[in-house]
Amino acid sequence: MGLLAICGSITADLIGYGPRLPRPGESVLGRAFLVAPGGKGANQAVAAARAGARVRLAGARGDDAHGELCAAVLAADGVELSAVVVHRGATTGVALICVDASGENQILAIPGANALVAPPAPCGAAVWLCQGEIPTEAIDGVLSAARADGALAICNPSPVNAIDPALVGRFDLAVVNELEHEALRGHLPERVVLTRGARGAVLLPSGEELPALPARAVDTTGAGDALAGVLAGGLASGMAIEDALRLAIAAAGISVEREGCQPSYPTRAEIERRLSSPPPAPDAPRSIG
């Protein structure tokens, strides 16, 4: 099985659940609070590992309690962490997340040690994956490492306002949602996976559509990371992109039915059961990508 190398953020998610998202200047009484490991890089690593991939994460964290929490969960899921640098005196990244009754969310991310992520070294990976929550130099370094490894280079340019559009087009494959696809028009590589929430995903440039499976959303936070991580892991293991994307769509669909990011990610067995026996369609399916 080929190695999936991910360079990305490590964050502690502080999640509040309430009836609706607050408007500017407004306080809303919530119903529950959750502290969970997150960050797009760590999320994608955990999602891929639980789906059966061999995963190595490059990144940075602080030497604080949040960093210890994140590292413990990554290690428990079998993610190789020798390329995660612990910066003494630095704070681990934090995401402040509000989730409403329909599963929609709003997020304020504080980078912390993620701003210190350095360009990664080649490691013999079959696939390299990165996102937009790390410095430009690190993203450029992912491209260099992928070329040195002879690996497929995948970019998930999210958040879209945190990544240099000129870099995105240098990757072999981009995984984007519809807003990112529009914002990066003219800057994307030829090969794109366009995620469309409850309508599934489209492979570009072929235009092949893969449908989503029915899901009743509780929390959509991190579903796009589930899809990107499982897709990249499948490609690293030698799966055809269509088969890897079907696996990824099913994983994302399961994740929206559970609270949190990493706590919501399914195992390979759970994904395969969902593919073989999809649930009946709910009255109002929600976004998964």
Helix (H, G, I), strand (E, B) or coil at 212: coil
Separation CA 117–CA 88 (nearest Å): 14
The number of C-alpha atoms within 13 Å of 223 and in the hemisphere containing its C-beta is 31
Q: How far is CA 235 from the centre of its chain?
A: 15
Evaluate whether 92 touches 60 at the Cβ level (below 8 Å).
no
Residues tagged active-site: 225
The DSSP H or E segment spanning 146 is helix 136-149
Q: In what order do the strands lie in the sheet with 105-110?
A: 32-38, 11-17, 93-99, 105-110
- Residue 135, Cβ neighbours under 10 Å: how many? 17
